[in-house]
Amino acid sequence: MGKTVRVFNHVILDFYSVYGKRTAEIDHIIVTDDKIIIGETKAANYVHTDYSEVPWTLLSGDTTDNPIVQNHYHKQVFCSCFGIPRERVITVEFLLEYSNCGLRSQYPNDYVLGKDNLLKGLCLLFSESKETLNFDELCKQLERIEAASVGRENEHEENLKEVREIEEKTRTRDKHYRFKRTDIAKCPLCDGFLVFRYKPWVKKKLGNINNTWNIALGCSNYPITGCNAFITPRKDGGQGFDDVEEIHIEDRMEWTIEERHVGDHFG
């Protein structure tokens, strides 16, 4: 195709949220002349591939992240880390065990490809470039981060496990997770941020080791200033952390306008 395509694999990005210091592992970052493709590859079989359902259930019965939602988080973290407009970044989920995937998902500029249309889909995405941008600086940074990501897989897996645990503990009555993975929340007492506390001492502080609500929000400044903000979930009917006001990444990044869908890659 006569194009320069640069590929970075297993890039781990660090970010902060109400879940604490977190990592996002991006399977593939494909940089072309005018766009960036963030790819998530899955070689798993799921009970359903309902795009909007969070999480998905594997045939083994275990639950796992919906790869579409997961990749959407990756894109948000990527765009906020590098200050890249969302319209420049296309997300693609490669479901290797599936064919005939429904192409577009619920998100703008997001495609789900299966083993039958993976190659064709990528070619279509590459071929439609109208301009040439300079992503050299970005690629230099990605090269460094890619190298530094080697050996961090276990840390990332542990990190994900913790997030999933907190998500399960903080399901709302209508079965949704209370916070998005990229949400932050301000401390009501100081200029710090609220982060989940779920280690054994929280159970102790909550007074009941068997309490299922063994999770609370504390202040990120606690180790420095001793700020003792400590917010426990309300026990009156499962609407935990109702009074906490979260700040979405869209607001922080001033992505106030809905992301525009660009291109018409698949007709």
CB of 182 to Zn ion, least distance (A): 21
Of the two residues 112 and 229, which places its CB atom closer to Zn ion in the complex? 229
∠ Cα 33 39 40 (to 5°): 175
Reported as half-sphere exposure (CB side, CA atoms, 13 A), residue 167 has a value of: 19
Q: Cα–Cα distance between 225 and 227 in angstroms, integer?
A: 5
CB of 187 to Zn ion, least distance (A): 3
CB of 23 to Zn ion, least distance (A): 24
CB of 219 to Zn ion, least distance (A): 3
CB of 224 to Zn ion, least distance (A): 10
Q: Are 81 and 28 in contact (CB under 8 A)?
A: no
Of the two residues 29 and 187, which places its CB atom closer to Zn ion in the complex? 187
Q: Following DSSP, what letter does each residue of 138-188 receive, concatenated?
A: HHHHHHHHHHHHTT-HHHHHHHHHHHHHHHHHTB-TTS-BSS-TT-EEB-S
CB of 188 to Zn ion, least distance (A): 7
CB of 230 to Zn ion, least distance (A): 10
Of the two residues 89 and 227, which places its CB atom closer to Zn ion in the complex? 227
**Rg, C-alpha atoms of the chain:** 20
Of the two residues 7 and 224, which places its CB atom closer to Zn ion in the complex? 224
Please report the beta strands in the chain, taking only residues with DSSP state E, as ranges in sequence order: 6-17, 20-31, 36-42, 56-57, 63-64, 89-95, 110-114, 184-185, 194-197, 216-219, 230-231, 246-247
Q: Are 152 and 23 in contact (CB under 8 A)?
A: yes
Q: Cα–Cα distance between 43 and 184 in angstroms, integer?
A: 32
Of the two residues 107 and 230, which places its CB atom closer to Zn ion in the complex? 230
Phi/psi of residue 9, nearest 5 degrees: -120, 150
Of the two residues 84 and 190, which places its CB atom closer to Zn ion in the complex? 190
* Interacting residue ranges for Zn ion, rule: CB under 5 A: 187, 189-190, 192, 219, 221, 227, 229
Of the two residues 50 and 245, which places its CB atom closer to Zn ion in the complex? 245
3-state secondary structure of 85: coil
Q: Are 120 and 65 in contact (CB under 8 A)?
A: no
